[in-house]
Chains A and B, each alone.
Chain A
Amino acid sequence: MKKRMMAWLLAGMMAASALTGCGGKTEQEPAPAAPDAAASEETGDGEEADSSTAAAEYKEEIHIGYKIEPATLDTMMVGDAPARVISYGSIYEALVTMDADFKVREELCESYEVSADAKEYTWKLRQGVKFHNGEEMKADDVVASMNRWVEHYGNAQAMVGDSRFEKVDDYTVKISLENPAAFLNELIATQTQGSVIMPKSVLDDLDPETGSVKSYVGTGPYKFGEWKEGSYIRLDRYEDYQPYGTEGDCSGWYGYKSQPTKTVYYDIVTDVATRTTGIQTGEFDIVYEMSTDDYPMFEATDGLNTWKEMNGEWVIVYNKEDGLTKDINIRQAVNAIANPTEILTAAHGNPDFFRVEVSFMPEETVNWYTDSGKENAHKVNAELAEEYLDKAGYNGETFRILCASNDINLSNAAVALKAELEAIGMTVELVTPDWTSYSSYRSDPSKYDVFFAALIPVAVPPLQLYLSSTWAGFTQDQQIFDLVAQMNQTTDLDACKEVWDELQAYCWTESLPATKLGTVFLYGVYTDQVENFSSFCSGPIIGNIAVRKQ
């Protein structure tokens, strides 16, 4: 299922996407929405400095060619990137958000306070903010939304335990925790699973069958317009929008939205060839996720600009509950032979679009970047691998790699790993159900030994899925759990980082819940007519983008 198969590949959540993007690799990248450029089409500075009747020169519509049709825009229910990319920052806003430096900033709250022991959080809400349905946003809405978020999001539950958000007065919300949680605001800000604020009235009236909302209502600069299945999702400018911050100050998701464009279309175009011709013919103004093999072509085309951003982290996840990989020596053998460069080349083609990396947290998350444990990482050593196989008493048993048949990147990686394992004498079988079966199979320990995952980067290391016992792969190492718990309770960053160093080293050398291969990037293309283009975590900041008429 093409639509959903790229779900993970898409989003750089916490990721330092925009930063890497500009990091010298993309020549044609203009400055990302610089603070003073944000409202240029209205104030008239920038390229068309002389035009005071700016509105007339801009298109009413913007068309974004997007790869995946989300299952729903109820982003609180799903952790899928497409739902977030289309709805967050446009339809919805959250208590706090993230700027381009990945710092937590106020969005729907005026200010927040965290107690010294990280057990009590208080948010003061902005007043006079109106939902698209005309209601004013108040503490009741925030409490209802945030608690629904906790219900649906395992990571949030793990962090807050049995505690829930409470109303203090109409414009104040707090939560009191039993255990310290140093990263709660980060978790809210990263939007891995939408922590957005919806009206209580909408949340009280859910679809009884699926439990999702019946209408998409938020406080953001654009309201939900129309969803034409298989074709497009249309967003319309919300005239009563209450911008925050100061005009022109915009960074990452944070900042003032001037809404220059009236209507925004996310055109669902699953086929990359169609997006390619569509941006060339001007049918789209912006396209996402282009084929890495086409990159040089776009680079050479006049009138088109490219930008590159971080997309996900590739790991080999081992099944630790059942199968051959239950034995640490088999995991060590695979870890010793797996060649990250070859696998990532197979999966992503052009080497400009991936970076082999030892650190579980990508380079962009400066605080957490570490190479501890590197002595056992990416060795690509056949002798060592065979030694481990001997130790495990491996005798030609079938080793199963799970991948999704219609996800070309995942299956290409699996094909590459298969060849490497066969070279050291293993019998390897690919298990290739379709995407939907694949995601179910991952939760079934009897179905596989390893699978590839392209994971959404996370805000803080303890949120890495493969460290959790409930996620696919079923990590069962108490030592890992203890270290994770210790990190969650450590409010001092340096102390916390030390624990993380220890944990990552332990993972690489002794436990091997997964083998990190590297970080991958995607790129997109936009035309010269697009002004104030900025993209953050795999999605455009549509609140400030304007398109000149030709």
Chain B
Amino acid sequence: MELKTVKEQMRREHRQLKIRKFIRNRALMIGAVVTVLMILLAALSRGIAPYDPLEIDVTKRLMPPCGAYVFGTDTFGRDVLSRILYGTAISMKVGLVVSVTSFVIGLVMGLYSGYYPRLGAVLMRLCDGLKAIPSLILAIALVGVMGAGMRNVILTLSIISIPDIARVARSLTLQVKEQTYIEALRASGAGSMRIIWLNIMPNVISTVLVQVSFIFATAVISEASLSFLGVGIPVPEPSWGNIINEGKTVIFQAWWMVVYPGIFIAASVLGLNLLGEGLRDFLDPLTN
């Protein structure tokens, strides 16, 4: 009875400590707030965008920011703010799907290639091969094969991100596998499935999650870069990258088409990076 309350108390204190640690961790706080804000904007973009982002009115081309068009209009007379908001939805969707896909596949690949060295050797060579090709070139070529479009951008960026996750997961698995308790478990006849998922995975997952938040950030940048180069999200669908690409051709007249989407890109990537950084500190037992 007494022991139980002590345990309870310890658990409560531990939780409070964690919360305090979370609040004290400024990077994590800011990162989390910005990320949540971006995702909210993305989810609500349809409701809050003042105009239809696709509606063309060529009589209102390239209007500088004003009351009616807070961020100005583009070469078609479309509202830049509305396009940026819809672009947020696309960027967040690409980022989320890419991070979830590469997390799941990369984790499985990493765990198994860490646990089974022979399989690992083969898979890691494949990953090394993919990583040896500069990712943007690989992305451009892959999008070329599959055709532009959101689905293919997501697929491409997932293919590129999986090796990153797999590598981290594998090297952690290798470390954990050497621990004596795993050896003991194996000696006592526990199945490898059980060891991998119940004993190794929980030790690996937090570090992998940190990596995933960076993948999210990278995916947002890559999508913007691809769209900027004209091979990502096809027009007229708005995306931060292709708004800037259109803005580049009229850079002498319309700075707003570059600056505003740029702020959104920088803010969201910064948020995600802070989130990852903060998460790393937060999960690191040494920083307290």
Contact = CB atoms under 8 A, between A and B. Distances in A.
- Chains A, B in direct contact (C-beta < 8 Å): yes
B280 interface: no
A416 B236 CA distance: 9
Interface in A428-465: 430-434, 437
Contact of B246 (A297, A408, A431, A432): A408
Interface string A397-434: 00000000110100110011011000000000011111
Interface string A344-379: 011001000000000000000000000000000000
A297 B236 contact: no
A342 B252 contact: no
Given A272-B249, A297-B252, A405 B234 contact: yes
Nearest to B230: A406
Given A415-B76, A416-B56, A419-B54, A273 B231 contact: no
Given A405-B231, A405-B235, A412-B75, A434 B144 contact: yes
Interface string A378-403: 00000000000000000000000000
A155 B231 CA distance: 34
B252 A433 contact: no
Contacts of B55: 419
Contact of B231 (A291, A415, A434): A434
B250 interface: yes
A78 B144 CA distance: 25
A273 B56 contact: no
B234 A432 contact: yes
B235 A293 contact: no
A294 interface: yes
B61 A273 contact: no
A471 B231 CA distance: 27
A192 interface: no
A258 B81 CA distance: 56
B175 interface: no
Interface string B161-202: 000000000000000000000000000000000000000000
A354 to B, nearest CB: 12
Given A273-B251, A408-B246, A346 B56 contact: yes
Interface residues of B, number: 23
A276 interface: yes
B249 to A, nearest CB: 6
Interface in B195-232: 230-231
A349 B252 contact: no
B58 interface: yes
A78 B248 CA distance: 31
Task: Report whether over half of chain B's contact residues are helix, strand or loop; otherwise say mixed.
Answer: loop
A349 B234 contact: no
A291 B253 CA distance: 11
Contact of B62 (A293, A418, A431): A293
A419 B148 contact: no
Contacts of B54: 415, 419
Interface in A262-312: 272-273, 276, 291, 293-294, 297
Contacts of A433: 147-148
A411 B58 contact: no
A266 B148 CA distance: 33
Contacts of B235: 405, 411-412, 415, 430, 432
A342 B236 contact: no
Nearest to A294: B252
A430 B58 contact: no
A342 B234 contact: no
Nearest to A407: B230
Nearest to B232: A405
Contacts of B58: 342, 345-346
Interface string A30-47: 000000000000000000
Contacts of B75: 346, 349, 412
A541 B285 CA distance: 75
Contacts of A297: 252
Interface string A164-197: 0000000000000000000000000000000000
Given A346-B76, A349-B61, A437-B144, A415 B56 contact: yes
Most buried by A among B54, B62, B75: B75
B190 to A, nearest CB: 53
Contacts of B148: 405, 432-434
Contacts of A406: 230-231
Given A408-B246, A408-B249, A432-B235, A416 B144 contact: no
A346 B76 CA distance: 6
Contacts of B251: 273
A405 B230 contact: yes
B236 A415 contact: yes
A173 to B, nearest CB: 46
Interface in B62-104: 62, 75-76
Contacts of A408: 246, 249
Interface in B244-279: 246, 248-253
A388 to B, nearest CB: 23
Most buried by B among A342, A418, A432: A432
A297 B251 CA distance: 14
B73 to A, nearest CB: 13
A349 B60 CA distance: 11
Contacts of A294: 252-253
Nearest to B147: A433
A346 B236 CA distance: 12
Interface in A104-131: none
Contacts of A276: 252
A426 to B, nearest CB: 14
A346 B55 CA distance: 12
Contacts of A434: 144, 148, 230-231
26 contacts: A273-B251, A276-B252, A291-B252, A293-B62, A293-B253, A294-B252, A345-B61, A346-B56, A346-B58, A346-B75, A405-B148, A405-B230, A405-B231, A405-B235, A408-B249, A412-B76, A412-B235, A415-B54, A415-B76, A416-B56, A418-B236, A431-B147, A432-B148, A433-B147, A433-B148, A434-B148
Given A412-B235, A416-B56, A416-B76, 18 more contacts: A293-B62, A294-B252, A297-B252, A342-B56, A345-B61, A346-B56, A346-B58, A346-B76, A405-B230, A405-B235, A408-B249, A415-B54, A432-B148, A432-B235, A433-B147, A434-B148, A437-B144, A437-B147
Interface of B: 54-56, 58, 61-62, 75-76, 144, 147-148, 230-231, 234-236, 246, 248-253
Identify the 6 closest CB pairs spanning chains A and B, nearest first.
A432-B234, A415-B236, A345-B58, A406-B230, A411-B235, A405-B230
